[in-house]
Chains A and B, each alone.
Chain A
Amino acid sequence: EDKVVQSPLSLVVHEGDTVTLNCSYEVTNFRSLLWYKQEKKAPTFLFMLTSSGIEKKSGRLSSILDKKELFSILNITATQTGDSAVYLCAARGGTSYGKLTFGQGTILTVHP
């Protein structure tokens, strides 16, 4: 059975702190690892990683994949209150190209 585990489940920080969110996966026929940010409504896409060791970066957010150790991390530097959200990690694999297995999510709260 495919499985994705995120840690920590929740995190409280102050503005300006740097945070690291973790995602480990066990997925048959792994294809890619995706990160989403979820505020009030729909998850919004952040990154998709397919190759080990290549960092993806967007502003203060960055992510990297380790396909040997089966994990990914999402870093957020200089956090702001607008970063408060649930961060979801999902692994794509199996025989259907669209099928995603999600982790439980990490609830990030950034205090002023």
Chain B
Amino acid sequence: NAGVTQTPKFQVLKTGQSMTLQCAQDMNHEYMSWYRQDPGMGLRLIHYSVGAGITDQGEVPNGYNVSRSTTEDFPLRLLSAAPSQTSVYFCASSPGSSYNQPQHFGDGTRLSIL
């Protein structure tokens, strides 16, 4: 049982490049989300999904796209990277239909945009 797996762990991009951050969970969790963590700002919600085929925007969605074609995977896409997107990105998941389950986090992807 691997939990929440994020790849890659580190990535350096040039401004304007695109890339996809991968997130997979093997716990059959319905809810998945992406956060970014910047110094002094805690974690901010980018996008989330309550199940396959359903996604919605969080607090800071601009510049990011998501899709959820399977329960297991929730990739985050940067279409045209900008230096302001330099951050540590965390994916999280939790069982669906419950307010009483904690979210489980992956180990994060450290992304630098030059």
Query: For residue B40, which residues in chain A have a CB less than 8 angstroms away from its CB?
Result: 9, 104
A102 pairs with B31, CB closer than 8 A: no
Known: A42-B90, A45-B104, A99-B58. A105 touches B99 (CB 8 A): no
Q: Is A34 an interface residue (CB 8 A)?
A: yes
Main secondary structure of the interface of A (DSSP, over half): strand
Query: For residue B41, which residues in chain A have a CB less than 8 angstroms away from its CB?
Result: 104
Q: How far is the CB of A3 from chain B (nearest CB, A)?
A: 11
Tell me, in angstroms, the Cα distance from A65 to B31 when the chains sit together.
25
Q: How far is the CB of B45 from chain A (nearest CB, A)?
A: 7
Known: A34-B102, A42-B106, A98-B33. A104 touches B94 (CB 8 A): no
Q: Is B83 an interface residue (CB 8 A)?
A: no
Q: Which of B83-109 contact A (CB under 8 A)?
A: 90, 94, 96-100, 102-108
Partner of A98, one of B94, B105, B106, B108: B94
Query: For residue B103, which residues in chain A have a CB less than 8 angstroms away from its CB?
Result: 34, 45, 98, 100
Query: For residue B97, which residues in chain A have a CB less than 8 angstroms away from its CB?
Result: 97
Q: How large is the interface on A (under 10, 10 to 19, 20 to 34, 35 or more residues)?
A: 20 to 34
Q: Is B42 an interface residue (CB 8 A)?
A: yes
Partner of B56, one of A4, A96, A102: A96
Among residues of B, the one whose C-beta sits closest to the C-beta of A90 is B43
B44 pairs with A43, CB closer than 8 A: no
Q: Which of A58-112 contact B (CB under 8 A)?
A: 88, 90, 92, 96-105
Partner of A43, one of B33, B45, B58, B90: B90
